[in-house]
Amino acid sequence: MSPQDFQFLSDLLKVKSGLVLTADKGYLVESRLLPIARKRGLNTLEGLVGGLKRRDEALIRDVVEAMTTNESFFFRDNTPFDNFKAHILPHLLKARADSKRIRIWSAAASTGQEPYSLAMLLAEQKAALAGWRVEILGTDISAEVLTRARAGLYTQFEVQRGLPIQLLVKYFKKEGDMWRIAPDIRGMVQYREFNLLDGFTGLGRFDVVFCRNVLIYFDQPTKAAVLDRLADSMADDGMLCLGAAETVLGLSSRFRPVKDRRGLYEVVRG
Protein backbone atom coordinates (compact mmCIF):
# COMPACT_ATOMS: atom_id res chain seq x y z
CA MET A 1 0.00 0.00 0.00
CA SER A 2 1.35 3.45 -0.88
CA PRO A 3 2.16 5.86 1.97
CA GLN A 4 -0.67 8.10 0.70
CA ASP A 5 -3.21 5.26 0.84
CA PHE A 6 -1.98 4.25 4.30
CA GLN A 7 -2.41 7.86 5.46
CA PHE A 8 -5.91 8.00 3.97
CA LEU A 9 -6.86 4.77 5.73
CA SER A 10 -5.41 5.83 9.06
CA ASP A 11 -7.20 9.25 8.89
CA LEU A 12 -10.48 7.52 8.08
CA LEU A 13 -10.16 5.03 10.96
CA LYS A 14 -9.31 7.84 13.38
CA VAL A 15 -12.35 9.90 12.39
CA LYS A 16 -14.75 6.94 12.32
CA SER A 17 -13.66 5.02 15.43
CA GLY A 18 -10.82 6.82 17.22
CA LEU A 19 -8.42 4.02 16.32
CA VAL A 20 -4.86 5.22 15.84
CA LEU A 21 -3.18 3.23 13.10
CA THR A 22 0.57 3.57 13.38
CA ALA A 23 3.00 2.79 10.56
CA ASP A 24 4.14 -0.45 12.28
CA LYS A 25 0.62 -1.88 11.85
CA GLY A 26 1.04 -2.45 8.11
CA TYR A 27 0.86 -6.23 8.63
CA LEU A 28 -2.55 -5.86 10.35
CA VAL A 29 -3.90 -3.82 7.46
CA GLU A 30 -2.97 -6.51 5.00
CA SER A 31 -4.15 -9.51 7.01
CA ARG A 32 -7.46 -7.92 8.00
CA LEU A 33 -8.37 -5.91 4.91
CA LEU A 34 -7.20 -8.05 2.02
CA PRO A 35 -9.97 -10.63 2.66
CA ILE A 36 -12.56 -7.81 2.56
CA ALA A 37 -11.11 -6.45 -0.69
CA ARG A 38 -11.26 -9.94 -2.24
CA LYS A 39 -14.79 -10.64 -0.97
CA ARG A 40 -16.02 -7.47 -2.60
CA GLY A 41 -14.22 -8.07 -5.87
CA LEU A 42 -11.90 -5.11 -5.28
CA ASN A 43 -8.99 -7.59 -5.27
CA THR A 44 -6.22 -5.38 -3.89
CA LEU A 45 -5.72 -2.96 -1.01
CA GLU A 46 -5.45 -0.17 -3.60
CA GLY A 47 -8.87 -1.19 -4.93
CA LEU A 48 -10.24 -1.20 -1.40
CA VAL A 49 -8.92 2.29 -0.67
CA GLY A 50 -10.52 3.41 -3.95
CA GLY A 51 -13.86 2.14 -2.62
CA LEU A 52 -13.32 3.97 0.66
CA LYS A 53 -12.54 7.18 -1.24
CA ARG A 54 -15.84 6.80 -3.09
CA ARG A 55 -17.48 6.88 0.36
CA ASP A 56 -18.94 3.39 0.12
CA GLU A 57 -20.51 3.46 3.60
CA ALA A 58 -21.01 -0.31 3.87
CA LEU A 59 -17.36 -0.83 2.95
CA ILE A 60 -16.23 1.83 5.46
CA ARG A 61 -18.19 0.01 8.13
CA ASP A 62 -16.68 -3.37 7.27
CA VAL A 63 -13.19 -1.87 7.32
CA VAL A 64 -13.71 -0.19 10.71
CA GLU A 65 -15.08 -3.45 12.15
CA ALA A 66 -12.22 -5.46 10.70
CA MET A 67 -9.61 -3.14 12.18
CA THR A 68 -10.99 -3.16 15.73
CA THR A 69 -9.59 -5.69 18.19
CA ASN A 70 -12.46 -7.58 19.76
CA GLU A 71 -10.66 -9.91 22.10
CA SER A 72 -12.46 -10.43 25.40
CA PHE A 73 -12.94 -13.12 27.98
CA PHE A 74 -15.01 -13.86 31.04
CA PHE A 75 -13.85 -12.16 34.27
CA ARG A 76 -10.92 -10.66 32.37
CA ASP A 77 -8.15 -9.59 34.78
CA ASN A 78 -10.29 -10.62 37.81
CA THR A 79 -9.52 -7.41 39.78
CA PRO A 80 -12.32 -5.31 38.24
CA PHE A 81 -14.83 -8.01 39.13
CA ASP A 82 -13.38 -8.39 42.64
CA ASN A 83 -13.72 -4.60 42.97
CA PHE A 84 -17.30 -4.82 41.75
CA LYS A 85 -18.18 -7.50 44.28
CA ALA A 86 -16.25 -6.17 47.28
CA HIS A 87 -16.51 -2.41 46.82
CA ILE A 88 -18.96 -1.17 44.19
CA LEU A 89 -21.93 -3.40 44.94
CA PRO A 90 -21.84 -3.00 48.77
CA HIS A 91 -21.68 0.78 48.26
CA LEU A 92 -24.64 0.81 45.87
CA LEU A 93 -26.74 -1.51 48.04
CA LYS A 94 -26.53 1.16 50.75
CA ALA A 95 -26.56 4.30 48.61
CA ARG A 96 -29.50 3.18 46.42
CA ALA A 97 -31.52 1.55 49.21
CA ASP A 98 -34.43 3.94 48.48
CA SER A 99 -34.60 3.82 44.68
CA LYS A 100 -33.45 0.18 44.49
CA ARG A 101 -32.17 0.93 41.03
CA ILE A 102 -28.70 0.39 39.56
CA ARG A 103 -27.53 1.15 36.02
CA ILE A 104 -24.33 -0.37 34.67
CA TRP A 105 -22.68 0.34 31.31
CA SER A 106 -20.21 -1.94 29.60
CA ALA A 107 -19.00 0.64 27.09
CA ALA A 108 -16.94 -1.64 24.82
CA ALA A 109 -18.82 -4.86 25.36
CA SER A 110 -17.43 -6.76 22.37
CA THR A 111 -18.79 -10.34 22.29
CA GLY A 112 -20.49 -10.00 25.68
CA GLN A 113 -18.11 -11.67 28.13
CA GLU A 114 -17.74 -8.49 30.22
CA PRO A 115 -21.44 -7.65 30.69
CA TYR A 116 -22.30 -11.33 31.21
CA SER A 117 -19.57 -11.65 33.87
CA LEU A 118 -21.23 -8.74 35.69
CA ALA A 119 -24.67 -10.29 35.20
CA MET A 120 -23.46 -13.59 36.73
CA LEU A 121 -21.97 -11.75 39.71
CA LEU A 122 -25.30 -10.01 40.23
CA ALA A 123 -27.22 -13.27 39.87
CA GLU A 124 -25.01 -14.70 42.60
CA GLN A 125 -26.29 -11.87 44.86
CA LYS A 126 -29.93 -12.63 44.11
CA ALA A 127 -31.09 -12.49 47.74
CA ALA A 128 -29.51 -9.08 48.47
CA LEU A 129 -30.92 -7.71 45.21
CA ALA A 130 -34.49 -9.04 45.56
CA GLY A 131 -36.87 -6.25 44.54
CA TRP A 132 -34.10 -4.25 42.85
CA ARG A 133 -34.06 -3.16 39.23
CA VAL A 134 -30.59 -3.63 37.81
CA GLU A 135 -29.94 -2.66 34.22
CA ILE A 136 -26.81 -3.60 32.30
CA LEU A 137 -26.25 -1.89 28.96
CA GLY A 138 -23.62 -3.35 26.64
CA THR A 139 -22.53 -1.17 23.73
CA ASP A 140 -19.94 -1.48 20.99
CA ILE A 141 -19.15 0.17 17.67
CA SER A 142 -19.22 -3.21 15.94
CA ALA A 143 -22.60 -4.67 14.97
CA GLU A 144 -20.91 -8.01 14.28
CA VAL A 145 -19.65 -8.53 17.84
CA LEU A 146 -23.00 -7.44 19.25
CA THR A 147 -24.76 -10.12 17.20
CA ARG A 148 -22.50 -12.67 18.89
CA ALA A 149 -23.06 -11.07 22.30
CA ARG A 150 -26.84 -11.23 21.87
CA ALA A 151 -26.65 -14.89 20.89
CA GLY A 152 -24.66 -15.65 24.05
CA LEU A 153 -23.10 -18.68 22.36
CA TYR A 154 -19.45 -19.44 23.13
CA THR A 155 -16.86 -21.98 22.10
CA GLN A 156 -15.23 -24.41 24.50
CA PHE A 157 -12.08 -22.29 24.29
CA GLU A 158 -13.99 -19.13 25.22
CA VAL A 159 -15.69 -20.65 28.27
CA GLN A 160 -12.39 -22.11 29.43
CA ARG A 161 -10.82 -18.65 29.53
CA GLY A 162 -11.53 -17.07 32.92
CA LEU A 163 -14.92 -18.57 33.67
CA PRO A 164 -14.99 -20.56 36.94
CA ILE A 165 -16.28 -24.09 36.37
CA GLN A 166 -19.12 -23.66 38.91
CA LEU A 167 -20.44 -20.69 36.94
CA LEU A 168 -20.11 -22.59 33.65
CA VAL A 169 -22.16 -25.46 35.04
CA LYS A 170 -24.71 -23.15 36.64
CA TYR A 171 -25.27 -20.59 33.88
CA PHE A 172 -24.46 -22.31 30.55
CA LYS A 173 -25.95 -25.16 28.57
CA LYS A 174 -24.08 -27.25 26.05
CA GLU A 175 -25.36 -26.87 22.47
CA GLY A 176 -23.39 -29.16 20.16
CA ASP A 177 -19.77 -28.00 20.45
CA MET A 178 -20.79 -24.67 21.94
CA TRP A 179 -22.08 -23.31 25.25
CA ARG A 180 -25.19 -21.10 25.44
CA ILE A 181 -25.61 -18.66 28.32
CA ALA A 182 -28.79 -19.08 30.40
CA PRO A 183 -31.78 -16.98 29.26
CA ASP A 184 -31.98 -15.33 32.72
CA ILE A 185 -28.43 -14.03 32.45
CA ARG A 186 -28.91 -13.15 28.80
CA GLY A 187 -32.04 -11.18 29.71
CA MET A 188 -30.16 -9.04 32.22
CA VAL A 189 -28.16 -7.32 29.46
CA GLN A 190 -29.44 -4.97 26.77
CA TYR A 191 -27.19 -4.40 23.76
CA ARG A 192 -26.94 -1.38 21.54
CA GLU A 193 -24.59 -0.25 18.80
CA PHE A 194 -22.79 2.87 19.98
CA ASN A 195 -19.65 4.76 19.01
CA LEU A 196 -17.74 6.24 21.94
CA LEU A 197 -16.82 9.19 19.71
CA ASP A 198 -20.49 10.23 19.62
CA GLY A 199 -22.38 12.30 22.20
CA PHE A 200 -23.54 10.30 25.23
CA THR A 201 -26.86 12.07 25.75
CA GLY A 202 -29.74 9.68 25.36
CA LEU A 203 -27.99 6.86 27.21
CA GLY A 204 -29.05 8.14 30.63
CA ARG A 205 -27.09 8.21 33.86
CA PHE A 206 -24.95 5.32 35.06
CA ASP A 207 -23.86 4.24 38.52
CA VAL A 208 -21.07 2.05 37.20
CA VAL A 209 -19.16 2.16 33.91
CA PHE A 210 -16.83 -0.55 32.69
CA CYS A 211 -14.82 1.00 29.85
CA ARG A 212 -11.99 -1.46 29.42
CA ASN A 213 -9.41 -2.14 26.78
CA VAL A 214 -10.73 0.36 24.28
CA LEU A 215 -9.13 3.68 25.31
CA ILE A 216 -5.73 2.10 24.64
CA TYR A 217 -6.48 2.33 20.92
CA PHE A 218 -7.18 6.10 21.03
CA ASP A 219 -4.83 9.09 21.08
CA GLN A 220 -4.55 11.30 24.19
CA PRO A 221 -7.10 14.01 23.19
CA THR A 222 -9.66 11.33 22.27
CA LYS A 223 -9.10 9.46 25.55
CA ALA A 224 -9.50 12.74 27.48
CA ALA A 225 -12.70 13.67 25.61
CA VAL A 226 -14.25 10.21 26.15
CA LEU A 227 -13.36 10.31 29.87
CA ASP A 228 -14.97 13.75 30.25
CA ARG A 229 -18.13 12.58 28.54
CA LEU A 230 -18.17 9.47 30.73
CA ALA A 231 -17.98 11.69 33.84
CA ASP A 232 -20.94 13.72 32.54
CA SER A 233 -23.01 10.57 32.11
CA MET A 234 -22.36 9.19 35.59
CA ALA A 235 -24.02 9.60 38.98
CA ASP A 236 -22.24 11.83 41.52
CA ASP A 237 -20.98 8.75 43.33
CA GLY A 238 -20.48 6.83 40.08
CA MET A 239 -17.55 4.47 39.63
CA LEU A 240 -15.47 3.84 36.52
CA CYS A 241 -13.51 0.73 35.83
CA LEU A 242 -10.71 0.89 33.25
CA GLY A 243 -8.52 -1.80 31.70
CA ALA A 244 -5.22 -2.92 33.21
CA ALA A 245 -3.19 -0.76 30.80
CA GLU A 246 -5.44 2.31 31.09
CA THR A 247 -5.59 5.27 33.46
CA VAL A 248 -7.22 8.68 33.91
CA LEU A 249 -3.98 10.15 35.25
CA GLY A 250 -2.74 13.00 33.09
CA LEU A 251 -5.91 12.83 31.00
CA SER A 252 -8.88 13.88 33.09
CA SER A 253 -9.40 15.62 36.41
CA ARG A 254 -13.01 14.41 36.45
CA PHE A 255 -12.03 11.10 38.08
CA ARG A 256 -9.73 10.11 40.93
CA PRO A 257 -8.37 6.66 41.72
CA VAL A 258 -10.12 4.73 44.51
CA LYS A 259 -7.52 3.88 47.15
CA ASP A 260 -6.24 0.31 47.06
CA ARG A 261 -8.58 -0.60 44.19
CA ARG A 262 -6.52 -0.99 41.05
CA GLY A 263 -8.23 0.25 37.89
CA LEU A 264 -11.15 1.77 39.77
CA TYR A 265 -11.96 5.51 39.68
CA GLU A 266 -14.62 7.67 41.27
CA VAL A 267 -16.22 10.76 39.82
CA VAL A 268 -14.95 14.11 41.17
CA ARG A 269 -17.77 16.62 41.55
CA GLY A 270 -17.69 20.38 42.09
Name the site residues for ligand SAM (rule: CB under 6 A).
Answer: 17-18, 68-72, 76, 108, 110, 114, 140-142, 145, 195-197, 212-214, 243
Q: How far is the CB of 27 from ligand SAM (least distance, A)?
A: 18
Three-state SS sequence of the chain: CCHHHHHHHHHHHHHHHCCCCCHHHHHHHHHHHHHHHHHCCCCCHHHHHHHHHCCCHHHHHHHHHHHCCCCCCCCCCCHHHHHHHHHHHHHHHHHCCCCCEEEEEECCCCCCHHHHHHHHHHHCCCCCCCCCEEEEEEEECCHHHHHHHHHCEECHHHHHCCCCHHHHHHHEEEECCEEEECHHHHCCEEEEECCCCCCCCCCCCEEEEEECCCHHHCCHHHHHHHHHHHHHCEEEEEEEEECCCCCCCCCCCCEEECCCCCCEEEECCC
Q: How far is the CB of 144 from ligand SAM (least distance, A)?
A: 9
Q: How far is the CB of 35 from ligand SAM (least distance, A)?
A: 18
Q: How far is the CB of 34 from ligand SAM (least distance, A)?
A: 20
Nearer to ligand SAM among residue 96 and residue 212 (C-beta): 212
Nearer to ligand SAM among residue 113 and residue 252 (C-beta): 113
Q: How far is the CB of 212 from ligand SAM (least distance, A)?
A: 4
Q: How far is the CB of 162 from ligand SAM (least distance, A)?
A: 9
Nearer to ligand SAM among residue 12 and residue 96 (C-beta): 12
Nearer to ligand SAM among residue 13 and residue 96 (C-beta): 13
Nearer to ligand SAM among residue 140 and residue 266 (C-beta): 140
Nearer to ligand SAM among residue 196 and residue 258 (C-beta): 196
As a whole number of angstroms, the distance between CA 7 and CA 30 comes to 14
